[in-house]
Amino acid sequence: MYAIYKGKRYRAVKKGEKIRIGSDTKEYGFTEYVDVVGNVHYDRFVKLLDMDELDYLYEERFEIQYQGRFFKISSALRRINLDRDWFEIYVSLEEHQLGISLGFERTDKFLWSKEIGRKDIEAFKIIEMPQGPFSNQGIKVRILEGQEIDDYFASITD
């Protein structure tokens, strides 16, 4: 989940009725992150906020266009996977015939998946789903192609 706070984007986690945002740099009002076992992380900082202090709150979902169709991604969109040029897409039971026709393999009782590389990605869909008091703003969809995909992937650092 992500939060926009004072015009800046942060990773966010819901903590009860509040939202905890995180940053890699020390900012006003942020404190060092303390993990569940009590270790203090001096390179990660957090701030607990009420929902009404946020400019916006949303979750992101991604889909990859492969062979003319959009598929959900089961692999995490993380730097380690991008560096390995590894993406895993999947179809559910309802679409398994399509998956089989495109070389997907059964990986679970109800799922068929396929590993692909960047060269196989025709388009990349970013789906932004507003959360909490912002949920009435509607889903936003952005589709990237070509160099836009490469630029977006290059911006991912974690």
Q: Are residues 49 and 65 in the same domain?
A: no
Q: Are residues 72 and 109 in the same domain?
A: yes
Q: Are residues 79 and 43 in the same domain?
A: no
Domain assignment of residue 9, given as a range: 2-54
Structural domain total, the chain:
2
- At residue 112, what are phi and psi to the nearest 5 degrees? -125, 135
Residue 122: the pLDDT is 97
Residue 47: the pLDDT is 97
Q: Are residues 102 and 116 in the same domain?
A: yes
Residue 150: the pLDDT is 94
Q: Are residues 94 and 47 in the same domain?
A: no
Residue 74: the pLDDT is 87
Average pLDDT for residues 75-98, to the nearest whole number?
Answer: 89
Q: Are residues 64 and 97 in the same domain?
A: yes
- Are 91 and 102 contacting, i.e. CB atoms less than 8 angstroms apart? no
Q: What is the pLDDT of residues 19-50, one digit of tens each?
A: 999 999 999 999 999 999 999 999 999 999 99
Distance, in Å, from the CA atom of 124 to the CA atom of 73, rounded to the nearest integer, reads 10
Q: Are residues 76 and 106 in the same domain?
A: yes
Q: Are residues 42 and 116 in the same domain?
A: no
Q: Are residues 137 and 71 in the same domain?
A: yes
Q: Are residues 68 and 130 in the same domain?
A: yes
Q: What is the pLDDT of residues 105-150, one digit of tens each?
A: 998 889 999 999 999 999 999 999 999 999 999 999 999 999 999 9
Quote the pTM value: 0.82
Q: Are residues 67 and 131 in the same domain?
A: yes
Distance, in Å, from the CA atom of 14 to the CA atom of 39, rounded to the nearest integer, reads 21
